[in-house]
Amino acid sequence: MADRRTSSPNDLRAFWMPFTANRQFKKAPRMLVAASGMYYTSADGRQVLDGTAGLWCCNAGHCRPRITRAIQEQAATLDYAPAFQMGHPLAFELANRLIDIAPDNMSHVFFTNSGSESVETALKIAIAYHRMRGEGSRTRLIGRERGYHGVNFGGISVGGIVANRRVFGHLLPGVDHLPHTHLPELNAFTRGQPEHGAHLADELERIVALHGADTIAAVIVEPMAGSTGVLLPPKGYLQRLREICTRHGILLIFDEVITGFGRLGAPFASQFYGVEPDLITCAKGLTSGVIPMGAVMTTDAVHDAFMTGPEHMIELFHGYTYSGNPIAAAAGIATLETYAEEGLLTRAAELAPYWEDALHALKGLPHVIDIRNQGLIGAIELEPIKGAPTKRAFTAFIDAYEKGLMIRTTGDIIALSPPLIIDKAQIDELFGILGDVLRGLE
Ligand SMILES: Cc1ncc(COP(=O)(O)O)c(C=O)c1O
């Protein structure tokens, strides 16, 4: 009998694939059957260089022995333990280890199973926090245009990617949006943080003046917007947001689902940019993508606001069956150990200059209208084909895959975010293939 794990199935109808052109995919499927280190193996037996760390998540690379072993051993020791009114040691240990690498002001961790759930959790904590302090009128949430905060109702309400919102009804009431920070006419081909755009944070003052600070619970932004196609914060922008939030008693949430765990060259973007939010959402790199797990980290001030009623009462009526799941916690601990052993949480900073030069060398190739980068992240924006947006980048995606490289595209933007174990020879391999792909684009 064929091995179910490595042979292609003969019927693809039942699985409704997420964020996928299902009919197109099922006519010409792209199946991955194995992975190791920096490479996937495709069903037709090819090695494919992982230029995207899966979906921005496999920061330690693939099938790393310590993580694999930890999962195997945990599954055979304590497979599941209830998360409500019961505990198990690994969840506490992982929370402590997270706080060890988190920005200094973070001191408590709430576990979830995904980035989307982390966002919902953070938004709910923010609203409830104000209520606990007797400021129950602060219910409004402020997101940002082009923001991505997962796919649940809170996340798409504060999110700003139109296609993710348009067909899903009214969403949450009482939400407003900051403008996005993409200013290509001023900032195109900037290396690292752009010079122009810090003033866009001042739009928060306008929103405060419009609604009243006493109605606003929180502002949520990605410190570096990933899914929309890599938009870096202009110099000084995050600092200004922080100042305005503090001035008006508004909580600042950094959604670090992509930027967490070393992507920019520090454990979190908060440390990289030197701005401390009140809550941080994370997921993805927490377990190097191997097991679904997310977390919300917060400060003593936020946490302690809930610790006031009678001690026998539940303080926060929120949680998931799998919050702090033992196997996920074991994977998380093994992942943090792998990061620490191999210096991966700061490796992006060491490789960034080499990465940046290799990426910006693509300037001048056909249709390339902007290139952006920070840490081990890169984006190449292509001129859309007239009347057929997204088609040019999708063609590049297919061609790259056929040539042995996995990239990710959003609209007509190519995004790159390789595992943090990538070496210089593999960076050369990546940009060698991508250069060929771009040169061949119509
Ligand atoms: C900033 C951000 N927040 C939230 C999410 C949602 O995470 P998940 O897909 O694990 O629900 C993502 C996913 O890419 C993300 O980039």
Q: What is the pLDDT of residues 253-311, one digit of tens each?
A: 999 999 999 999 999 999 999 999 999 999 999 999 999 999 999 999 999 999 999 99
Q: Give CA angle at 44 (39, 50), nearest 5°.
A: 20
Q: For helices 89-101 and 326-342, what crossing angle results, to 10°? A: 30
Q: Which amino acid is at 154?
A: G
Residue 254 pLDDT: 99
Average confidence score pLDDT of the chain:
97
| CA dist., res. 144 & res. 178, Å (int) | 4
Close Cβ partners of 49 (under 8 Å, ≥ 6 residues apart): 38, 39, 404, 405, 406, 418, 426, 429, 430, 433
User: Taking residues 119-145, what's their average pLDDT?
Assistant: 98
pLDDT in tens, 1-44: 557 676 677 799 999 999 999 999 999 999 999 999 999 999 99
Q: What residue spans in the chain does CATH classification 3.40.640.10 cover?
A: 68-342
pLDDT number for residue 2: 57
Q: Which residue's CA is the nearest one to ligand 1's atom 3?
A: 149
pLDDT, tens only, 335-380: 999 999 999 999 999 999 999 999 999 999 999 999 999 999 999 9
Ranges of CATH 3.90.1150.10 domains, the chain: 22-51+344-439
CATH code of 22-51+344-439, in short, is: 3.90.1150.10
State mean pLDDT over 399-415: 97
Q: Provide the CATH number for the domain formed by 68-342 in this structure.
A: 3.40.640.10
What is the arrangement of strands in the sheet containing 108-112, beginning at the earlier edge strand?
108-112, 294-298, 279-282, 251-255, 216-221, 140-144, 175-178
Closest by CA position to 344, among listed 226, 429, 260, 233: 260
What pLDDT band is residue 250 in, cutting at 50, 70 and 90?
Answer: very high
Q: How far is the CA of 56 from the centre of ligand 1 (A)?
A: 9
Separation of CA 283 and ligand 1 centre (Å): 8
Classified as helix, coil or strand, 100 is: helix
DSSP code of residue 231: B
Nearest CA to 288 out of 123, 420, 432 is that of 420
Structure tokens, 41: 């193996």
Strands (E), 54-152: 108-112, 140-144
What is the per-residue pLDDT for 9? 74
Q: What's the 366 CA to ligand 1 centre distance in angstroms?
A: 31
Whether 252 and 277 have beta carbons less than 8 Å apart is answered as yes
Task: Indicate if ligand 1 lies below 6 Å from the C-beta of 158.
Answer: no
Nearest Cα residue to atom 13 of ligand 1: 150
Protein residue closest via CA to atom 8 of ligand 1: 115
**Longest Cα–Cα distance in the chain:** 68
**Residue 179 DSSP label:** P
Residue 10: the pLDDT is 75
State which ligand 1 atom lies nearest to the alpha carbon of 114: 10
Of the chain, the percentage scoring pLDDT greater than 70 comes to 98
Among protein residues, the one whose CA lies closest to atom 12 of ligand 1: 150
- Per-residue confidence (pLDDT) for residue 111, from 0 to 100: 98
**Phi first, then psi: what are they for 409, rounded to 5°?**
-125, 145
What's the CA dihedral at 126, 128, 130, 132 to 10 degrees? Answer: -140
CA of 44 from ligand 1 middle (Å) equals: 30
Read off the pLDDT of each residue in 95-116 and give the average, rounded to a whole number. Answer: 98
With a 6 Å cutoff on the Cβ, whether 258 touches ligand 1 is yes
Ligand 1: nearest atom to the Cα of 222: 1
Q: HSE (CB half, 13 Å, CA atoms) of 126?
A: 32
Say what the pLDDT of residue 61 is.
98
- 149 CA distance to ligand 1 centroid (A)? 6
pTM, full prediction:
0.97
Which atom of ligand 1 is nearest to 118's Cα? 4
